[in-house]
């Protein structure tokens, strides 16, 4: 029988190996699991552990048999020694049987017949009987069928020494066992195949056990964490329970307190009800004892008492003052009560008031009733003060509201102005209207006729075809002056903001130009000029905030010479400065403005970049000032009677009203806004007007200058911007070039026509001219700077105050334009005329002609 050296050494190493094998398991299940206990084996839920248990049982059996083998070998050696001694003593020569051929049965138990006994039978001498194995802790006996050795306590395996004891000291770690089991070399030669197989199984079991140990360690760790968590949860639950108990106690206390309060409130209500009931009963009793009106007085006194106790000022009437002194106040109190309290005061009771007073005085005088009165005077004073304070508060609120509304109104007004300017700007720089004057003779076939508000048709006599013209607006013969002014009115406030507005009346002689602009003084019909000036003055001098200086100047261009219409006709002797003139009429020149010529403090020229040295201007503030100026203008203007017009204007009249803010200093001032009102002389055919001599010359000058005006307006309306603008072709266009073509200027052209068929040819030429201007004007934006303009031609840079101010400041509508995505007016759009100037022609004196 051959054993593995490791396992063959019966003592310490195998025992330690066993201990190390079982120690982790023992440690993991300390106190709760005994591997030797079949019940534990059966109850174990770990299949690896079960397998391990079974293997361990097998190993235990093997080790037991190994120990038996050791003992057998010892017995064999002793028998051999006995046989040797026997042979040496001559007992025989028979050879000893080889022990290597013997087989070892693991099921060998004491008491059975052993192979050694068989060997002993073959030997000549009987073998020594086999000694029974001592039972000791180091050398365990064979396992009993129940797995326990006799004499040991249940649950403790006799085969494993300390294995079954959970309190045994920890044996060496499993690697020692593995090292001991892994000694390979020699076993192959003499190890039993079953043992080898057993060893492999044992190694497999050990590794499974290690794996299981690791899993169980993890489970143990998780279990310990779960236990800790459970502990903490348990503590939290206990804390919550304690908190709940505390809240419950608090709630119970509050509930008790609430119940107590409810009881107190109900008791107070009951007491109040009782008191009220007693009071009502007393009143009812008192009322039952008195007549009806006295019943009412009782309730009145009740109310009075209640009110008196609520006031902070009291006076005991019965003690300190006589009741008669209080009668008027009592009366007023009764009146108030009759309006507010129920039952209402009956008229009959009021009539019996004196009787009431007397009764009340007697009651109070007998000290049967003591009433506490408010001090009426102080109460009234206080009420009065309260009322005054309340009214003052209301007044302050109203004033604030009014101020804010006024501020809003100003903002809205400025916005409206900006929008009006925007509308005007979008409508175009030049707006052309047509007005038909009333017929001089009954209308026949032919002539001009309004077709709606924007069209006019003209049919020449003798079956000529109908000509249609369109304008911004057409005013029929029944249109009033106000209707015309409505078109101009929105731009009048813009004059105070610095824009230039030019109103032109164009048409044949006698078509109503002067009537449209100046009105009819005989009939008291105001013209556009009167209405515009009146509005401008109102805005300039009645408006809150800024104050303005307004000046009026007027000139006429008669036969291409400029004359001041506001000069004093009698004292006009300041001739030396102005050059040649006729009598009081000064002959003036048009020059280009220069900075050095415009000294500080001088009034800027109303013509922007152009100026007329010596032209007088009147400061106007009221309509009477204007009236005086207009009368002088009317007296001095060239007028003559022609075949077509009894009072025909023989010159172009330019009336200019300039307005500038008075508050700003010289640096802060911008150029004045100007309103030009230009009454053009009427175009006429000399053949029709039968002009001769001077009138012929006048008519030629008029027609030439009107033709020049037409050329300028056509050129300004040229959309290509390539045309030359012939401002210099006439004094009128040269003087008004800024008003006609300057940036931001607004021009209104009223084309006056006669409805008469006899004037159809003149009307046709007027309408053709006006419609051409209207058609050529670029609507919706400012005119671009044409190449023909002085600025585009690269003439001397314009330094006029107006153009400078407009270059440096955006136009009035610019913010609004920007807000609406419209490009603001281009800066530097002003015309820059050359430095040349016209010399006014010498003309015969008008006054002599008038005379
Ligand atoms: N719309 C009108 N309503 C009433 N009367 C008018 C109207 N238009 C013109 N008249 C009258 O016609 C006459 C001629 O008018 P007005 O002098 O204004 O013409 P004009 O165009 O200025 O002529 P000229 O160019 O010769 O000065 C005047 O008596 C005037 O009262």
CB 407 within 8 A of CB 448: no
* Predicted confidence (pLDDT) per residue in 771-823, tens digit: 888 776 644 333 433 333 333 333 333 333 333 333 333 333 333 333 333 33
Place of tokens 């039993």: 192
The CA-based angle 516-517-518, given to 5 degrees, is: 105
- At 235, is the pLDDT very low, low, confident or very high (cuts 50, 70, 90)? very high
Long-range CB pairs of 210-218 (<8 Å, 24+ gap) are 210/174, 211/48, 212/46, 212/48, 212/49, 212/52, 213/24, 213/25, 213/28, 216/28, 216/46, 217/28
Residue 511 alpha carbon, nearest atom of ligand 1: 21
CB half-sphere exposure, 615, CA atoms < 13 A: 30
Least confident range from 46-60, 264-278, 519-533, 750-764: namely 46-60
Q: Give alpha helix (H) positions in 343-433.
A: 347-351, 353-365, 376-427
Q: How far is the CA of 514 from the centre of ligand 1 (A)?
A: 6
- At 456, is the pLDDT very low, low, confident or very high (cuts 50, 70, 90)? very high
* Predicted confidence (pLDDT) per residue in 544-603, tens digit: 666 788 999 999 998 888 988 888 766 544 433 333 334 445 678 888 876 544 444 567
Name the closest-CA residue to atom 23, ligand 1: 510
Place of tokens 């494993």: 160
Q: What is the CATH number of domain 428-786+794-850?
A: 3.40.850.10
Of 515, 833, 528, 510, the closest CA to residue 676 belongs to 528
Sign of the CA dihedral with 597 first, then 601, 606, and 608 last: positive
CB 652 within 8 A of CB 513: no
Residue 226's pLDDT is: 93
Residue 607's pLDDT is: 86
* Distance in Å from the first CA to the final CA of the chain: 177
Of 295, 293, 303, the closest CA to residue 354 belongs to 293
Query: Dihedral, CA atoms, 296, 301, 307, 311, nearest 10 degrees?
Result: 160
Residue 479 alpha carbon, nearest atom of ligand 1: 1
Residue 532's pLDDT is: 93
Give me the mean pLDDT over the 366-379 stretch.
58
Q: How far is the CA of 747 from the centre of ligand 1 (A)?
A: 22
Give me the mean pLDDT over the 665-691 stretch.
74
Residue 233's pLDDT is: 93
Q: How far is the CA of 440 from the centre of ligand 1 (A)?
A: 10
Residue partners of 721: CB distance under 8 A and separation at least 6: 784, 785, 786, 787
- At 681, is the pLDDT very low, low, confident or very high (cuts 50, 70, 90)? confident
Least confident range from 135-149, 436-450, 557-571, 734-748: namely 135-149
Task: Tokens for 666, please give them.
Answer: 């010289």
Q: How far is the CA of 634 from the centre of ligand 1 (A)?
A: 15
Of 497, 434, 425, the closest CA to residue 659 belongs to 497
Residue-range domain boundaries for the chain: 5-224, 428-786+794-850
- Asked if residue 538 has pLDDT above 50, the reply is yes
Q: What per-residue string of b and e applies to 412-424 under the rule 16 or more CB within 10 Å gives b?
A: eeeeebbebbbeb
Q: What per-residue string of b and e applies to 313-328 under the rule 16 or more CB within 10 Å gives b?
A: eebebbeeeebeebbe
CB 148 within 8 A of CB 157: yes
Better pLDDT: 405 or 5: 405
Backbone angles phi, psi at 712, to 5 degrees: -65, -45
Better pLDDT: 53 or 581: 53
Sign of the CA dihedral with 276 first, then 279, 283, and 288 last: positive
Q: Is 561 left (phi over 0), alpha (psi -120 to 50) or beta?
A: beta
Task: Tokens for 807, please give them.
Answer: 């270059």
- Asked if residue 100 has pLDDT above 50, the reply is no
Of 167, 169, 214, 163, the closest CA to residue 59 belongs to 163
Name the closest-CA residue to atom 4, ligand 1: 438
Cα–chain center distance at 751? 53
Q: How far is the CA of 446 from the centre of ligand 1 (A)?
A: 21
- At 245, is the pLDDT very low, low, confident or very high (cuts 50, 70, 90)? very high
CB 467 within 8 A of CB 457: yes
Give me the mean pLDDT over the 1-27 stretch.
43
- Asked if residue 117 has pLDDT above 60, the reply is no
pTM over cut 0.95: no
Annotated binding site: 507-514
Residue 208's pLDDT is: 92
Q: What percent of the chain has pLDDT over 70?
A: 52
* Rounded Cα distance, 206 and 181, in Å: 11
Query: Dihedral, CA atoms, 787, 791, 794, 799, nearest 10 degrees?
Result: 180
* Predicted confidence (pLDDT) per residue in 638-652, tens digit: 877 776 677 778 889
Of 558, 608, 604, 613, the closest CA to residue 731 belongs to 558
Annotated binding site for ATP: 507-514
Task: Tokens for 131, please give them.
Answer: 């000694």
Residue 633's pLDDT is: 87
* Rounded Cα distance, 324 and 357, in Å: 8
- Asked if residue 436 has pLDDT above 90, the reply is yes
Residue 581, strand partner residues: 586
* Rounded Cα distance, 74 and 825, in Å: 133
Pocket lining for ligand 1, CB < 6 angstroms: 437-438, 507, 509-515, 520, 645, 647-649, 681-682, 752
Cα–chain center distance at 380? 52
CB 564 within 8 A of CB 586: yes
- Asked if residue 626 has pLDDT above 50, the reply is yes
* Rounded Cα distance, 207 and 211, in Å: 6
Residue 349, strand partner residues: none
* Rounded Cα distance, 218 and 215, in Å: 5
Average pLDDT, the chain: 68
Q: What percent of the chain has pLDDT over 90?
A: 14
Q: Give alpha helix (H) positions in 9-114.
A: 12-28, 38-43, 47-88
* Rounded Cα distance, 689 and 640, in Å: 12
* Predicted confidence (pLDDT) per residue in 813-838, tens digit: 333 333 333 333 333 333 333 333 33
* Rounded Cα distance, 202 and 200, in Å: 5
* Predicted confidence (pLDDT) per residue in 142-192, tens digit: 444 434 444 344 444 444 434 444 444 444 445 655 665 555 545 445 557
Task: Give Rg (Cα) of the chain.
Answer: 68
Q: How far is the CA of 441 from the centre of ligand 1 (A)?
A: 14
Backbone angles phi, psi at 44, to 5 degrees: -65, 135
Q: How far is the CA of 685 from the centre of ligand 1 (A)?
A: 17
DSSP state, 666?
T
* Predicted confidence (pLDDT) per residue in 29-43, tens digit: 434 444 444 444 444
Mutate to test the pocket of ligand 1, among 435, 510, 653, 766 (most ligand atoms within 8 A of CB): 510
Residue 440 alpha carbon, nearest atom of ligand 1: 12
Residue 679, strand partner residues: 505, 653
CB 727 within 8 A of CB 737: yes
DSSP state, 728?
G
The CA-based angle 207-213-214, given to 5 degrees, is: 95
Q: How far is the CA of 174 from the centre of ligand 1 (A)?
A: 137
* Predicted confidence (pLDDT) per residue in 459-498, tens digit: 876 567 888 999 989 999 899 999 999 988 888 888 888 8
Mutate to test the pocket of ligand 1, among 514, 519, 642 (most ligand atoms within 8 A of CB): 514
Of 565, 560, 589, 507, the closest CA to residue 698 belongs to 560
Give me the mean pLDDT over the 702-713 stretch.
86
- Asked if residue 656 has pLDDT above 80, the reply is yes
Beta-strand relationship, 585-586 and 581-582: antiparallel
- Asked if residue 401 has pLDDT above 70, the reply is yes
Element (H or E) spanning 549, and its range?
Answer: strand 548-558
Give me the mean pLDDT over the 631-639 stretch.
84
Residue 644 alpha carbon, nearest atom of ligand 1: 26
Q: How far is the CA of 717 from the centre of ligand 1 (A)?
A: 29
Backbone angles phi, psi at 453, to 5 degrees: -90, -5
Element (H or E) spanning 207, and its range?
Answer: helix 193-289
3-state helix, strand, coil in the chain (%, to 5): 50, 10, 35
């Amino acid at each position: 029988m051959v054993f593995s050296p490791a396992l063959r050494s019966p003592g310490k190493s195998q025992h330690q190996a066993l201990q190390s094998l079982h120690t982790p398991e023992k440690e993991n299940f300390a106190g709760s699991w005994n591997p030797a206990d079949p019940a534990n084996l059966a109850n174990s839920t770990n299949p690896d552990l079960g397998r391990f248990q079974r293997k361990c049982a097998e190993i235990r059996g093997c080790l037991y048999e190994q120990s038996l083998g050791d003992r057998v070998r010892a017995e064999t050696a002793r028998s051999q020694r006995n046989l040797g001694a026997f042979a040496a003593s001559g007992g025989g020569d028979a050879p000893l049987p080889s022990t290597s051929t013997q087989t070892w049965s693991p099921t060998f138990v004491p008491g059975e017949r052993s192979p050694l006994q068989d060997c002993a039978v073959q030997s000549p001498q009987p073998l020594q009987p086999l000694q029974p194995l001592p039972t000791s802790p180091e050398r365990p006996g064979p396992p009993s069928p129940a797995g326990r050795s006799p004499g040991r306590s249940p649950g403790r395996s006799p085969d494993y020494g300390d294995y079954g004891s959970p309190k045994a000291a920890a044996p060496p770690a499993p690697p020692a066992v593995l090292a001991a089991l892994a000694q390979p070399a020699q076993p192959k030669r003499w190890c039993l195949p079953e043992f080898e197989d057993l060893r492999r199984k044992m190694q497999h079991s050990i590794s499974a056990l290690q794996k299981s140990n690791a899993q169980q360690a993890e489970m143990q760790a998780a279990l310990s964490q779960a236990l800790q968590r459970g502990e903490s949860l348990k503590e939290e639950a206990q804390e919550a329970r304690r908190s709940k108990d505390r809240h419950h106690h608090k709630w119970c206390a509050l509930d008790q307190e609430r119940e107590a309060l409810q009881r107190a409130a109900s008791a107070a209500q009951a007491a109040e009800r009782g008191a009220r009931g007693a009071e009502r009963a007393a009143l009812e009793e008192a009322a039952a004892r008195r007549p009806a009106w006295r019943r009412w007085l009782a309730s009145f006194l009740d109310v009075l008492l209640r009110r008196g106790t609520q006031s902070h000022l009291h006076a005991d009437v019965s003690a300190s003052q006589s009741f008669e002194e209080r009668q008027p106040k009592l009366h007023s109190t009764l009146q108030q009560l009759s309006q507010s309290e129920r039952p209402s005061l009956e008229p009959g009771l009021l009539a019996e008031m004196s009787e009431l007073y007397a009764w009340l005085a007697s009651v109070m005088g007998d000290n049967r009733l003591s009433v506490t009165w408010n001090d009426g005077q102080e109460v009234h004073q206080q009420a009065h003060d309260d009322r005054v304070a309340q009214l003052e508060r209301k007044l302050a609120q109203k004033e604030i509201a009014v101020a804010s509304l006024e501020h809003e109104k100003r903002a809205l007004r400025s916005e409206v102005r900006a929008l009006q300017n925007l509308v005007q700007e979008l409508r175009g720089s030049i707006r052309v209207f047509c007005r038909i004057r009333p017929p001089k003779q009954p209308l026949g076939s032919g002539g001009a006729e309004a077709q709606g508000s924007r069209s006019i048709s003209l049919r020449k006599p003798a079956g000529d075809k109908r000509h249609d013209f369109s304008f911004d607006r057409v005013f029929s013969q029944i249109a009033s002056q106000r209707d015309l002014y409505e078109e101009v009115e929105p731009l009048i406030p813009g004059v105070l903001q610095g824009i230039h507005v030019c109103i032109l009346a164009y048409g044949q002689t006698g078509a109503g130009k002067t009537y449209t602009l100046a009105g009819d003084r005989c009939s008291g019909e105001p013209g556009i000029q009167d209405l515009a000036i009146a509005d401008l003055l109102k805005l300039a001098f009645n408006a809150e905030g800024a104050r303005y200086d307004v000046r009026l100047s007027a000139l006429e261009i008669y036969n291409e010479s400029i004359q001041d219409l506001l000069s004093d006709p009698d004292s006009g002797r300041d001739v030396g400065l102005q050059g040649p003139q006729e009598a009081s009429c000064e002959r003036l020149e048009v020059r280009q403005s220069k900075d050095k010529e415009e000294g500080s403090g001088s009034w800027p020229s109303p013509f922007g970049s152009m100026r007329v040295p010596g032209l007088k201007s009147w400061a106007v503030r009221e309509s009477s000032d204007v009236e005086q100026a207009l009368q002088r203008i009317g007296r001095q203007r060239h007028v003559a009677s022609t075949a077509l017009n009894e009072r025909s204007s023989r010159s172009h009249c330019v009336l200019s009203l300039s307005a500038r803010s008075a508050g700003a200093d010289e640096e802060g001032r911008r150029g004045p806004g100007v309103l030009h009102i230009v009454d053009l002389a009427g175009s006429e055919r000399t053949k029709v007007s039968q002009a001769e001599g001077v009138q012929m010359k006048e008519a030629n000058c008029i027609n030439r200058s009107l033709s020049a005006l037409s050329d300028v307006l056509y050129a300004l309306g040229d959309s290509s911007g390539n045309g030359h603008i012939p401002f210099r072709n006439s004094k009128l266009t040269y003087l008004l070039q800024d008003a006609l073509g300057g940036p931001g200027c607004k021009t209104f052209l009223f084309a006056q026509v006669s409805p008469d068929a006899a004037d159809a040819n003149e009307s046709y030429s007027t309408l053709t001219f006006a419609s051409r201007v209207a058609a050529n004007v670029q609507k919706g934006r400012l005119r671009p700077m044409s190449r023909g303009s002085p600025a585009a031609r690269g003439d001397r840079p314009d330094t006029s105050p107006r153009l400078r101010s407009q270059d440096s400041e955006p136009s009035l509508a610019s913010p609004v334009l920007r807000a609406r995505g419209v490009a603001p007016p281009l800066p530097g759009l002003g015309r820059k005329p050359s430095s040349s100037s016209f010399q006014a022609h010498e003309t015969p004196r008008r006054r002599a002609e008038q005379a």
